[in-house]
Amino acid sequence: MTRILVDFLYYTGAKGGMESYVREIFSRMPQDGVDFVGLASRQMMALDNSWFPGEFVESGIDGENRIAWAAGEILAVGRAGRRVGADLVYSPANLGAWGNNPPSVLTVHDLLPFRHPEYIPAGRAPALRLLVSRAARAARRVITISETSRRDIVDILGIPEDRIDVIHLGGRAPRVAPSTREAGFVLAVGNRLPHKNFPALVEAIALIPEPQRPRLVLTGSHGTDPLRPLVERFGLQPWVSLREWVSNDEIEALFSEAAIVVVPSLFEGFGLPVLDGMTHGAAVVCSDIPALREVGGSAAIYSAPTASGLAEAIGTLIADPEALASAQRASVERAAAFSWDRAAVQTLESLRRALD
């Protein structure tokens, strides 16, 4: 029996895409011949972790404390792996152990701190570059989620291509068919980091004339939403609803009801909301950047990541019901090319390849 320690020091229940990633992967993970042990943050131990196919050991580390998290990656992960007799450590969230005892596999979602350090708040980019590069170079294998990110890992970190496995993600599977799909309902989801480019989306809604202006729901803020002053400045309160972190049931309902999902990002490693929107049959408008083109293919509507570009793309779909319905049908067809079940199998294959 192979024992694999999975590094969840970052997991707090409020980290968005990287937490969705591991929940989807491990809820489908084949268990033949593998014993998984999770190294949990303090916050994670209070959550429902029934999706994980193994037992947990508590690290005592505060996953919301970035310094404690980083120090834990350097000092605690390898030590915990040795303590539980792990044959391999798997770190699924960009940061990981610096040593090779036990050997490790690391998922690098993107290289934002290298490509666009200006989007990283509070001068954290240098530390993140050090942490990511050391963990990636120490790992036996690196998993990434797009060809776009693979090229960055080769070009920037110098990791040989034969040590990198590209594993595309899947979409959030609809639990129920949409009961209503409001033609004028636009959804966007994500944190308020600068590269998500949500101010441009709010301004785009203001540029659409009132008779055609859609209702925008924008989820994912923590505490005081930095977009609120912008909404108030444009007088968009009747049209724009700023939501904090919402439950899985709420986000499921929103994706099922939205006519259009918008992903205005300036940079992404994959762009999971593109696929989530498509899986639920929404038309998708997104920035014309490489990673989002890799996911959206010919089904998405691409736009310059500017207020005027986004307004034109959204407004055109709102004004043309046939074009909107066609984009929604194309979304469903495109989403069928991606699978969380396949991603789970490929992840286990990568872990076993590291041990081989």
Q: Where are the domains of the chain?
A: 2-169+339-355, 182-335
Mark out the alpha helices in the chain (DSSP H runs): 17-27, 66-83, 112-115, 125-138, 147-152, 198-207, 228-233, 248-257, 272-279, 290-296, 307-319, 321-335, 340-355
> Looking at residue 36, what is its pLDDT?
97
Three-state secondary structure call for residue 2: strand
CA 348 to chain centre: 20
Report whether pLDDT(181) > 80: no
| DSSP classification of residue 161 | G
Question: How many CA atoms within 13 Å lie on the side-chain side of 276?
Answer: 25
Average pLDDT of the chain? 94
Structure token digits, residue 277: 């929107």
Structure token digits, residue 292: 């989002």
> Looking at residue 150, what is its pLDDT?
98
The reported pTM is: 0.92
Give the pLDDT confidence of 81-107 residue by residue, as tens digits: 999 999 999 999 999 999 989 999 999
> Looking at residue 239, what is its pLDDT?
97
CB neighbours of 115 closer than 8 A, spacing ≥ 6?
152, 156, 267
Average pLDDT over residues 46-52: 96
If pLDDT is split at 50, 70 and 90, which confidence band does 186 have? very high
CA distance 31 to 53: 8
CB neighbours of 162 closer than 8 A, spacing ≥ 6?
none
Nearest residue to 195 via CA among 272, 117, 266: 266
Would the CATH topology of 2-169+339-355 be identical to that of 182-335?
yes
Report whether pLDDT(124) > 80: yes
> Looking at residue 165, what is its pLDDT?
98
Matching residue, tokens 């904090």: 244
Matching residue, tokens 């019901």: 321
Report whether pLDDT(285) > 90: yes
Report whether pLDDT(352) > 90: yes
Average pLDDT over residues 141-155: 98
DSSP 280-318: TT-EEEEE--HHHHHHHTTTSEEE-SSHHHHHHHHHHHH
CA distance 220 to 191: 5
First to last CA, the chain: 14
CATH of domain 2-169+339-355: 3.40.50.2000
CATH architecture under which domain 182-335 falls: 3-Layer(aba) Sandwich (3.40)
Report whether pLDDT(348) > 70: yes
